[in-house]
Amino acid sequence: MAEAALTREHILETAEDVLRRFGPAKATVVDVARALGVSHGTVYRHFPSKAALREAVTERWLDRAHVALPAVATGPQPPDRRLRLWLETLFEAKRHKALDDPELFATFTVLADESSALVAEHLSVLEAQLAAIIAEGQGDGLFAPGDPRELAHAVFQATSHFHDPGYAPSWSGPTVARDLGLLTDLLLRGLARA
């Protein structure tokens, strides 16, 4: 590949493929450069270190996994329906990533541990989406009063079984979607104005 035509996005795509193939313990910047047909110095011109490249791959993965959530959070449905749909969409996105590309999903869990600040920021964005739904539900009189951020955090933590990568082995179970539905019903009853 001509170095002038090399884009950040192409490097990230290639890095993802290299990580999938070799795993996070063995994949190197040299492997990425070799797959691109350029020198490793060229990759370093786009990413100052191996850690920066791995963090960018993680950020790209998170952004793609959750691309549908902002539209759900601001969609036209009533807030109680939107909260349910948001949780279902998050779960389906995670389950899709885990079951359809298990090698990359396993790699992602390692990279996420390395990029804890990035992941924490991303989780904060997700909880803010939930908080906005809850605040709107409170404004509409559907949900009881309370700090929307604290309630969003509680909902996110309560549903962690359906989005935390540590639980991925259970996501192919026959009752997992039903279980999420039952938990969501319980959470919505807890949020509802009495």
Share of the chain above pLDDT 90, in %: 74
Report the domain count for the chain: 2
How far, in Å, CA of 29 to CA of 133, rounded? 42
| Residue 23 covered by a domain | yes
Residue 43 shares a structural domain with residue 101: no
Q: Are residues 140 and 171 in the same domain?
A: yes
Amino acid found at 85: L
| 141 and 78 co-located in one domain | yes
* 39, 109: one domain: no
> SS3 letters for the chain?
CCHHHCCHHHHHHHHHHHHHHHCCCCCCHHHHHHHHCCCHHHHHHHCCCHHHHHHHHHHHHHHHHCCCHHHHHCCCCCHHHHHHHHHHHHHHHHHHHHHHCHHHHHHHHHHHHHCHHHHHHHHHHHHHHHHHHHHHHHHCCCECCCCHHHHHHHHHHHCHHHCCHHHHHHCCCCCHHHHHHHHHHHHHHHHECC
What is the rounded distance in angstroms from the CA atom of residue 46 to the CA atom of residue 26?
21
| 71-90 per-position pLDDT tens digit | 999 999 999 999 999 999 99
Do 75 and 170 fall into the same domain? yes
At 2 the pLDDT is 53
Better pLDDT: 115 or 96: 96
Model pTM above 0.85: yes
Return mean pLDDT, the chain. 93
Query: In which band, very low, low, confident or very high, does the pLDDT at 3 lie, cut at 50, 70 and 90?
Result: low
Tens digit of pLDDT for each residue in 29-68? 999 999 999 999 999 999 999 989 999 998 998 888 899 9
Q: Name the pLDDT band for 115 (thresholds 50, 70, 90).
A: confident
Q: What confidence score (pLDDT) does residue 167 get?
A: 95
pLDDT band at 103 (very low <50, low <70, confident <90, very high): confident
Query: What would the two tokens of residue 51 be?
Result: 């850690």
Tokens read off for 36? 């691109």
Higher pLDDT, 112 or 181: 181
Residue 93 lies in a domain: yes
**Which amino acid is present at 159?**
T
What percentage of the chain reaches a pLDDT higher than 70?
Answer: 98
| Domain match, 34 and 64 both | no
Which range marks the domain in which residue 115 is found? 60-191
The answer to whether residue 54 sits within a structural domain is no
Same domain, 93 and 158: yes
